[in-house]
Amino acid sequence: MPAGSKPWAAFAKKFGEMETEIAALTSERQDWEKRLTLMRDEAVDRDVLEERARAILGRVHRNDVVVMGR
């Protein structure tokens, strides 16, 4: 193994981890931008407003299905 290959391998691994993180953050940002667009329109989407109000207040409707994440 050449003398410089260990640092290069560590760099390549870290670079790959950072690319994965950037992809996840980009996806999350796109999701937030989509949600904000729905809330910025002249007429606020009632479903989005209700979803946010329930999330903030910690309330659910009796017909709601709650899915818990990790």
Give the pLDDT confidence score for residue 37 in this predicted structure.
81
What is the pTM assigned to this prediction?
0.50
Render each residue's pLDDT in the chain as its tens digit; 70 residues: 555 688 999 999 999 999 999 999 999 999 989 888 877 766 677 777 788 888 888 777 777 777 777 7
Round to whole Å and give the CA distance between 41 and 33. 13
For residue 2, how many other CB atoms are within 10 A of its CB? 6
| CA 14 to chain CA mean position, Å | 21
DSSP H helical segments within 1-70, as ranges? 5-40, 46-57
How many Å separate Cα 51 from the centre of its chain? 17
